[in-house]
Amino acid sequence: MRIDILTLFPEAVNAVLGEGILRIAREKGLVSYHLKNFRDHAKGVHQSVDDRPYGGGPGMVIKCEPVFAAVREVEKADPTPPHRVLLTPQGRVFNQKVARELAQKPRLLMLCGRYEGFDERIRQGFAWDEISIGDYVLSGGELGALVITDAVVRLIPGALGNEASSSDESFGQAGWLEYPHYTRPVEFEGMKVPQLLQSGHHAEIEKWRREQSRERTKQRRPDLLDG
Ligand code: ADE
């Protein structure tokens, strides 16, 4: 998979891509990351990427020219047409189902905004999948793009050491929360690992984990059990 991220802060984004699973997936050749600062396409001595809104009002608006030029240039860099993602609180809300959907794409292009928002013609000029990472307002799309990248890349077969891990965990196969985990020591400050987990009875353990998973989901996120 190829991931292009258009941002005014490529160094900040790059720092996150350079650690953990995201870095390992790149090293394994499962994904490549391409960062583009769309300020490089801004004209004039000040290279402004934003301007005051027509009609007045607070804040600044991301200009068309640098974004159109950057999107076009980045798209030309590879013949694979990208699935374009616009990070915005106005988008559909990201979740594990959307992550699975995006993980099927050969190429993602994500555009991160700043300031009050995008000139509306940026929306009109390209086909975007507008995505919000939650019902709150961030100061830019970068954290959203990184959240999406992380959730998607770990779903690429081979990205995680153990293939079972991504289907076992919360929101995995059944869409339930994860069961409790324990590791050594068997007793810590008076708190013990449940006997059953030490018993080696795999079928029983499996059953216990399913029950725990369901109970946790019922307690904490009953909305996930509906349907
Ligand atoms: N940009 C600002 N807020 C955002 C959000 N909640 N999701 C995605 N992009 C954003």
Homologous superfamily (CATH) for 170-225? tRNA(m1g37)methyltransferase, domain 2 (1.10.1270.20)
The count of other CB atoms within 10 Å of the CB of residue 63 is: 20
Which ligand 1 atom is at minimum distance from the Cα of 132? Answer: 7
- What is the 212 CA–ligand 1 centroid distance (Å)? 34
Residues of the chain with CATH 3.40.1280.10: 2-153
Tens-digit pLDDT string for the chain (227 aa): 999 999 999 999 999 999 999 999 999 999 999 999 999 999 999 999 999 999 999 999 999 999 999 999 999 999 999 999 999 999 999 999 999 999 999 999 999 998 789 999 999 999 999 999 999 999 999 999 999 999 999 999 999 987 667 766 777 767 899 999 999 999 999 999 999 999 999 999 999 999 999 999 999 999 999 86
Alpha carbon distances (Å) from 87 to 9, 52, 103, 208: 14, 21, 17, 40
**Ligand 1 pocket, residues with Cβ under 6 angstroms:** 87-89, 132-134, 136-138, 141, 144
Question: What is residue 163's predicted lDDT score, i.e. its pLDDT?
Answer: 67
> Sheet of 117-118: strands edge to edge?
50-51, 61-62, 117-118
Tokens of 130: 């507008």
Residue whose Cα lies nearest atom 6 of ligand 1: it is: 89
In whole angstroms, what is the distance from residue 56 CA to residue 77 CA?
38
Question: What is residue 36's predicted lDDT score, i.e. its pLDDT?
Answer: 98
How far is C-alpha 58 from the geometric centre of its chain's CA atoms?
Answer: 29
Among 172, 2, 181, residue whose Cα is nearest residue 95: 172
Name residue 61's beta-bridge partners.
Answer: 51, 117
Residues of the chain with CATH 1.10.1270.20: 170-225
Reported as a single tens digit per residue, the pLDDT across 163-182 is 667 766 777 767 899 999 99
What dotted CATH number matches 2-153? 3.40.1280.10
Residue whose Cα lies nearest atom 8 of ligand 1: it is: 132
Cβ 50 vs Cβ 42: under 8 Å = no
Reported as a single tens digit per residue, the pLDDT across 65-89 is 999 999 999 999 999 999 999 999 9
- What is the 118 CA–ligand 1 centroid distance (Å)? 12
Asked if the peptide bond before residue 194 counts as cis, ω within 30 degrees of 0, the response is no
Residue whose Cα lies nearest atom 4 of ligand 1: it is: 89
**Beta 61-62 vs 187-188: how paired, if at all?**
unpaired
Question: What is residue 142's predicted lDDT score, i.e. its pLDDT?
Answer: 98
